[in-house]
Chain A
Amino acid sequence: MKKLAAGVILAAASSIEAAADFDLSGSLGAENRLFFEGPALPGQLQTYQGSLELELDARWSLADGKWDIVAVPYARLDGRDTGRTHFDVREAYVRFNGDTVSVRAGLGRVFWGVAESVHLVDIINQSDSVEDIDNEDKLGQPMIELSVQRDWGLITGYVLPAFRKRTFPGVDGRLGFPLPVENDLALFDQGADDSADVDFALRYSHYFGDWDVGLSVFHGASREPRFVLNSGATAFAPFYDDITQYGIDVQYTNEAWLWKLEGIIRDTPFETFAAAVGGVEYSFYGITESGADLGIIAEFQYDGRSENPLIAPFTVADNDVMTGLRYSANDSADSSVLVGVVTDVEDASMSGIVEATTRFGDNWIGEIEGRFFMNVDPDNTLFGFKGDSHVMLRLTRYF
């Protein structure tokens, strides 16, 4: 009976998609960033940075939903930072959706993990770091993806035939490094260019009652580069080492508690280290008459990698505590506010975030994002950003 039912719902799923063969949507956003202080480096923009972003999302569904074709081009035009003006194809793939097997080929986007403050396990896509330093914006990754869904879980294998280099601000951009990062000088263990190199990944994920578990392994060029001085010591060359990374992510959900843990072991040509992030999210529900929720988040971040920049890419999240509050109004505008502070346990350097969003009418979204760097110790990785505290106001029209 159960099997028959599963077959029927798949058949049912097919028919609804047949009703919408082609769908085009997208968004156009205007962004204003205001820095509280002038630049630390000569040539960087002063305190105001305006930019526009456009994303299109085209989807075809063919043969009763058995096949999907998706294209999501994205462009940002930045008024001040030449390195931030860029174009990317976030997604462009063909996917076959079978009853238990699905296959996807093209540029795709994948997310792994459970934590809020840092994403250790998530490794398939390269970060589009010029978008935001939180590394939640990603570049489309060329991939062939094969997924098999069984009663005992989902297994997905990836062949990643080309490498994407991380994006960095231009010499005129804020939130940059002491020297500009030149992607044209990028170095790889496999020679000058990793485009010919092929990376592989495998993931298992499933739920067991209140537990959600993911196990993953990745072998290929690290998405995080370390920085090597060029010959004239005028720029940094990003060096993407070959790594093997094992990951685990676990969430235990019990009433209003979410317990989260992500851990990795990364094997590089220089060292083998572990890193982890874990914590809790607890929600108070219905704190107002209108049913708003308040969540409390606390996560601890540990990273055992070498602090020598010639051995390992830098990380901020090495021994830090993140505490935050998430307020969801549960109103018709889906208004929400997230406030968080990450504090280094050793030197008390702090970075703070504020993210607020609400909808106006049916199609407009207003967002405020603030990033603050406080009490930054000269030895902390954040020291280069200490004068780059800013607020950003974004208005986006969806269509």
Chain B
Amino acid sequence: MLKINQLKKAAKSALVGSALVVGAGFSAAYADEASVAKGHEIAARSDRSDNGFISSEVSAVMTLTNKAGKTSTRELSFKTLERENENVGDKGLTVFSTPRDVKGTALLSHAQILTPDNQWLYLPALKRVKRISSANKSGPFVGSEFAFEDFTSTELNKYSYDYVGEDTFGGLRVDVVERFPLYEKSGYTKQVALIDQDVFQTRKIDFYDRKGAHLKTLTFGDFREYDGGIWRAHTLEMVNHQTNKSTTLT
């Protein structure tokens, strides 16, 4: 059961970084300036709908399903400390409580925008803290279909954007925005995000790999509203179309 233990919110603060402009040059070659600006604006509105949460604590069960349908689970908790400056990443701590042999293993990450994150791993059996390379953002996170880069908070300025159009998803009117990772070692060339027009939450993301092939789909569900208009999904399902494996966070 994905459970939000704590979600602290600051007094409504002024939006920061709104003067930021993402140059069209970063984006897909044929994107025109207007659709780039609109794509960024929609993404920024979605990102800022989440602003001011200060810190959150989530406990979740990760269920890994292989192509034969066999499952294994991991229980973990995520703590996030928000950095309001859009040019500085959030800080996150992930702690595992199962499987039992890795109980207490913790991953601390200081997200960066365009350079590799700073990450430290705590190994409880040895009481050892190891600074680890985070160049491998596209690698699988603990054997799941999530990549490390899917987990580090989706900072606004990690992408350039392009507005595609409107659509309907799950009975909601959504904006369709393509986003292009600026980090050169990203495992993706493109992501297509559906962001609803009501509360500006990302409902679905399609991921395209380095060859441009459709790799994965992430679907967000069970949205609930927290104090001060902060929305959080309570189920996340990532399906890998190339391996037919999937991972859910509930």
A200 an interface residue at 8 Å Cβ cutoff? no
Given contacts A256-B136, A283-B136, A332-B64, contact A9 B81 (CB under 8 A): yes
B219 near A: Cβ within 8 Å?
no
Chain A 384-399, CB-CB to B under 8 Å as 1, else 0, gives 0000000000001011
Q: In the bound complex, do residue A283 and residue B81 qualify as a contact, i.e. CB atoms below 8 Å apart? A: no
Q: Given contacts A9-B81, A207-B131, A255-B116, is CB(A331)–CB(B57) below 8 Å?
A: no
Q: A9 — which chain B residues lie within 8 A by C-beta? A: 54-55, 79, 81
**Closest chain A residue to B105, Cβ basis:** A334
Complex: A291 Cα to B66 Cα, angstroms: 15
Complex: chain A residue closest to B141, CB-CB: A330
CA distance in complex: A136, B84 (Å): 42
Rounded to whole Å, the gap between the CB of B27 and the closest CB of chain A is 25
A1-44 vs B, CB cutoff 8 Å, 1 = contact: the mask equals 10011101101110110010000010100000000000000000
Binds A, one of B95-103, B197-205, B221-229, B231-239: B95-103
Residue of A12, A293, A362 near B73 (CB, 8 A) is A362
Cβ contacts under 8 Å, B131 to chain A: 114, 207, 212, 251, 253, 258
Chain A contacts for B72, CB-based, 8 A: 332-333, 361-362
Q: Does A359 contact B99, Cβ atoms closer than 8 Å?
A: yes
Which residue on chain B has the smallest CB distance to residue A357? B101
Q: Which residue of A lies closest to B56 (CB)?
A: A12
Give chain A residues whose Cβ lies under 8 Å from the Cβ of B162. Answer: none
Closest CB in chain A relative to B197 CB, distance in Å: 31
Chain B interface residue count, CB cutoff 8 Å, equals 44
B244 near A: Cβ within 8 Å? no
A256 to B139, CA, bound (A): 12
- Which interface residue of B54, B57, B100, B139 has the most chain A CB atoms within 10 A? B100
Asked if A363 contacts B118 (CB within 8 A), the reply is: no
B50-78 with Cβ < 8 A to chain A: 54-57, 59, 64, 66, 72-73, 77
Q: Are A291 and B139 in contact (CB under 8 A)?
A: yes
A361 to B102, CA, bound (A): 14
Shortest CB–CB separation between residue A330 and chain B, in angstroms?
5
Q: Does A111 contact B (CB under 8 A)?
A: yes
A273 in the interface, Cβ–Cβ < 8 Å?
no
How many A residues are at the interface, by size bracket? 35 or more
Within 8 A of B (CB), among A345-389: 359, 361-363, 365
**Of B101, B126, B138, B139, which is within 8 A of A365 by CB?**
B101
Contacts of A8 on B, CB cut-off 8 Å?
8, 54-55
Q: Does B12 contact A (CB under 8 A)?
A: no
Is the Cβ of A5 less than 8 Å from the Cβ of B133? no
User: Does A286 have its Cβ within 8 Å of any Cβ on chain B?
Assistant: yes
A136 and B126 within 8 A (CB): yes
Question: In whole angstroms, how far apart are the Cα atoms of A334 and B131 in the complex?
Answer: 19
Q: Pick the residue among B81, B126, B143, B144 that contacts A5 (CB under 8 A).
A: B81
Partner of B142, one of A4, A16, A25, A334: A334
Complex alpha-carbon distance, A1 and B82, angstroms: 11
Residues of A participating in the B interface, judged by any CB pair closer than 8 Å: 1, 4-6, 8-9, 11-13, 15-16, 19, 25, 27, 109-111, 114, 136, 207, 210, 212, 251, 253, 255-258, 283, 285-286, 289-291, 293, 330-334, 359, 361-363, 365, 396, 398-399
Query: What 9 pairs between A and B have smallest CB-CB spacing?
Result: A398-B100, A332-B143, A285-B136, A255-B135, A291-B140, A111-B128, A111-B127, A12-B6, A9-B55
B-side residues, CB < 8 A to A, are 5-6, 8, 10, 54-57, 59, 64, 66, 72-73, 77, 79, 81-82, 84, 98-103, 116, 118, 126-133, 135-136, 138-140, 142-144, 187, 243
- Chosen A-B contacts, 12 in total, with CB atoms closer than 8 Å, are A9-B54, A110-B127, A111-B129, A253-B131, A256-B133, A256-B136, A283-B133, A286-B138, A286-B139, A291-B139, A332-B144, A359-B101
